[in-house]
């Protein structure tokens, strides 16, 4: 018997990458899977079927309310319930600093990634509330947790929307908790998927992965299975008393932000001299002693 026996799970962006891995991991644990995506989903569906689970595919652009409604209606018509919703669908646009990010990119990135999560939660939660049970898992990113290592080349809209998903998660957890629904977010670090290859040559990707791996305490970038394993825990009864949380799966990559989070600009007159000295010596201070420039949630 698996951890998710007979559960019905909707995975958005389930055609490939992290979403596909989540679909297969959940299916191995006994779940029936509804795959939603804007691209061909047959490969994931076939793999889920080979695991002996039931699956349907529903072409869905998560940024469009009518298509999300169709996704949820189709799920209910086929399976009669939704136990777990995994909001994984995501897209990026080219990196651009604050002064250069285009309005069009901003709208697309926030529309798919943030509004899409909102629409899916709103549609699915109505059914979960009726049954007084459900698990919602939102895929955020460490990009939404910190400005650490961000520069003018970073995609601002992506980081901001991922931060938005975290606050959406917390508010939904608060509102839906009394209806027996858990809402949590996962913040992956760098994970090896097609998303890394967009707008990079294979050589650039290789160099990028090598350089990034050196900065990760566990010495490697993430695999899709790393994220799927946490998603499985959050979907299972083992996490029944966990809600409103954002959990990083980043090999410890964010840990440096525990120390490096402010610059001298933030020191006020009342800042204890010991902290100022620590900053001058190590160029770092500890979060919580920084007059509100808390860079970590
Ligand atoms: P991916 O590109 O392999 O998969 C994304 C999936 O989302 C694709 O199947 C794509 O078709 C689908 N999608 C895109 N727009 C959609 C829309 N409008 N409606 C429905 N589906 C849509 O990327 P991935 O790395 O597997 O990304 C999955 C999630 O993980 C995303 O939310 C991404 O932001 C997040 N994430 C990824 C990384 C990483 O390093 N790969 C890190 C942190 C967070």
Instruction: Give the number of the atom of ligand 1 that is nearest the alpha carbon of residue 224.
Output: 26
Q: Does the residue 230 lie in any domain?
A: yes
- Kind and range of the H or E element at 48? helix 42-50
133 C-alpha vs ligand 1 centroid, how far in Å? 27
DSSP state of 155: B
Q: Does the residue 2 lie in any domain?
A: no
Q: Are 119 and 46 in contact (CB under 8 A)?
A: no
281 C-alpha vs ligand 1 centroid, how far in Å? 41
Q: Does the residue 184 lie in any domain?
A: yes
285 closest CA partner among 271, 297, 7: 271
Mutate to test the pocket of ligand 1, among 58, 91, 190, 196 (most ligand atoms within 8 A of CB): 91
Q: Does the residue 33 lie in any domain?
A: yes
Chain position carrying tokens 């644990």: 29
Residue 292 neighbours by CB under 8 Å, 6+ apart: 266
CATH of the domain at 222: 3.40.50.720
Instruction: Give the number of the atom of ligand 1 that is nearest the alpha carbon of residue 140.
Output: 44
Q: Strands, E, within 66-180: which ranges?
A: 84-87, 134-139
Phi and psi of 172, rounded to 5°? -65, -40
Instruction: Give the number of the atom of ligand 1 that is nearest the alpha carbon of residue 198.
Output: 2
Q: Does the residue 67 lie in any domain?
A: yes
Ligand 1: list residues with CB < 6 Å: 12-13, 15-19, 37-39, 60-63, 88-91, 112, 139, 141, 188, 190-191, 193-196
Return per-residue pLDDT of the chain as tens, 297 residues: 799 999 999 999 999 999 999 999 999 999 999 999 999 999 999 999 999 999 999 999 999 999 999 999 999 999 999 999 999 999 888 777 778 888 898 898 888 899 999 999 999 999 999 999 999 999 999 989 987 645 445 678 888 999 999 999 999 999 999 999 999 999 999 899 988 777 778 888 888 888 888 889 999 999 999 999 999 999 999 999 999 999 999 999 765 444 433 333 344 445 555 555 555 554 444 444 443 344 433
How many domains does the chain contain in total? Answer: 1
What pLDDT shows up at residue 13? 98
Q: Does the residue 52 lie in any domain?
A: yes
Which residue has its alpha carbon closest to ligand 1 atom 2? 195
Tokens of 130: 């009726």
Instruction: Give the number of the atom of ligand 1 that is nearest the alpha carbon of residue 14.
Output: 9
Q: Catalytic site residues? A: 158
Q: Does the residue 71 lie in any domain?
A: yes
Q: Does the residue 171 lie in any domain?
A: yes
170 C-alpha vs ligand 1 centroid, how far in Å? 21
Q: Are 10 and 3 in contact (CB under 8 A)?
A: no
Q: Are 7 and 31 in contact (CB under 8 A)?
A: yes
178 C-alpha vs ligand 1 centroid, how far in Å? 30
3-class state of residue 285 by DSSP: coil
For residues 135-169, one letter each, b for 16 or more C-beta atoms within 10 angstroms of the residue's C-beta and e for the rest, the string is: bbbbbbbbbbbbeeeeeeebbbbbbbbbbbbbebb
| HSE value, Cβ hemisphere, 13 Å, CA-based, for 238 | 11
- Nearest-angstrom CA–CA distance, 237 and 239: 5
- Nearest-angstrom CA–CA distance, 273 and 48: 60
273 C-alpha vs ligand 1 centroid, how far in Å? 46
Q: 276 lies in which domain range?
A: 8-295
Alpha-carbon torsion 259, 260, 261, 262, what sign? positive
pTM of the model: 0.87
**What are the C-alpha distances in Å from 155 to residues 33, 184, 186?**
32, 24, 19
Which residue has its alpha carbon closest to ligand 1 atom 17? 61
- Nearest-angstrom CA–CA distance, 26 and 8: 10
For residues 252-269, one letter each, b for 16 or more C-beta atoms within 10 angstroms of the residue's C-beta and e for the rest, the string is: ebbeebeebbbeeeebee
């Amino acid at each position: 018997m698996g951890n998710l026996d007979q559960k019905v799970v909707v995975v958005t962006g389930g055609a490939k990458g992290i979403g596909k891995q989540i679909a297969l991991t959940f299916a191995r644990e006994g779940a029936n899977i509804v795959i939603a995506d804007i691209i061909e989903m047959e490969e994931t569906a076939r793999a889920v079927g080979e695991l002996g689970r039931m699956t349907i595919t529903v072409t869905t652009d998560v940024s469009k309310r009518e298509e999300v409604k169709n996704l949820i209606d189709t799920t209910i018509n086929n399976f009669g319930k939704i136990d777990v919703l995994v909001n994984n669908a995501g897209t990026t646009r080219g990196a651009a600093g604050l002064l250069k990010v285009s309005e069009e990119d901003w709208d697309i990135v926030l529309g798919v990634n943030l509004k899409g999560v909102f629409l899916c939660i709103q549609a699915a939660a109505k059914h979960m509330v009726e049954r007084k049970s459900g698990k919602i898992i939102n895929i955020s990113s460490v990009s939404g947790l910190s400005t650490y290592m961000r520069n003018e080349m970073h995609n601002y809209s992506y980081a901001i929307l991922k931060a938005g998903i975290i606050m959406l998660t917390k508010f939904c957890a608060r509102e839906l908790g009394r209806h027996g629904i858990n809402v949590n977010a996962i913040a992956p670090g760098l994970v090896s998927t097609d998303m890394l290859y967009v707008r990079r040559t294979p050589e650039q990707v290789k160099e990028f992965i090598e350089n990034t791996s050196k900065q990760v305490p566990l010495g490697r970038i993430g695999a899709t299975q790393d994220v799927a394993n946490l998603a499985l825990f959050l979907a299972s009864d083992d996490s029944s008393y966990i809600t409103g949380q954002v959990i990083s799966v980043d090999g410890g990559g964010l840990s440096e932000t525990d120390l490096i989070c402010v610059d001298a600009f933030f020191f006020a007159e009342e800042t204890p001299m010991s902290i100022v000295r620590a900053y001058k010596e190590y160029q770092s201070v500890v979060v919580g002693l920084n007059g509100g420039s808390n860079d970590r949630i």
